[in-house]
Amino acid sequence: MVVGLDGKGKMSKSLNNHLDLALTPIETRQRIMTAVTDTTRRYRKDPGHPDVCNVAKLLTYFDTPDMDTVRLECINAGRGCVDCKGTAGR
């Protein structure tokens, strides 16, 4: 199951929590920037939890060659949620 951008249930067009393949790169980036990420991470300096982060999971569906680095930086607070969203929007 692919979790929707709202972090609740599956990605669905009817729930408007989906990524449309026909979107332009700018529109895709705008949609991804609205995505729910790690709800347990309150501040950028706090360690992240990529195993529960919606955007980190989305990155695993695509050919993200530096995913191991992304995970490590997230866990060590070297990367913030907005950074991951920027990676997903490329």
* pLDDT given for residue 77 in this prediction: 93
CA angle 6, 8, 11 (to 5 degrees): 75
Question: How many angstroms separate the CA atoms of 5 and 75, rounded?
Answer: 21
Encode pLDDT of 3-34 as tens digits.
999 998 899 999 999 999 999 989 989 999 99
pTM of the complete model:
0.78
- Domains in the chain, ordered, with CATH? 37-88 (1.10.240.10)
* pLDDT given for residue 22 in this prediction: 94
Q: CB–CB of 4/13 below 8 Å?
A: no
In the numeric block, the tokens 């990155």 are attached to: 59
Encode pLDDT of 58-69 as tens digits.
888 876 778 889
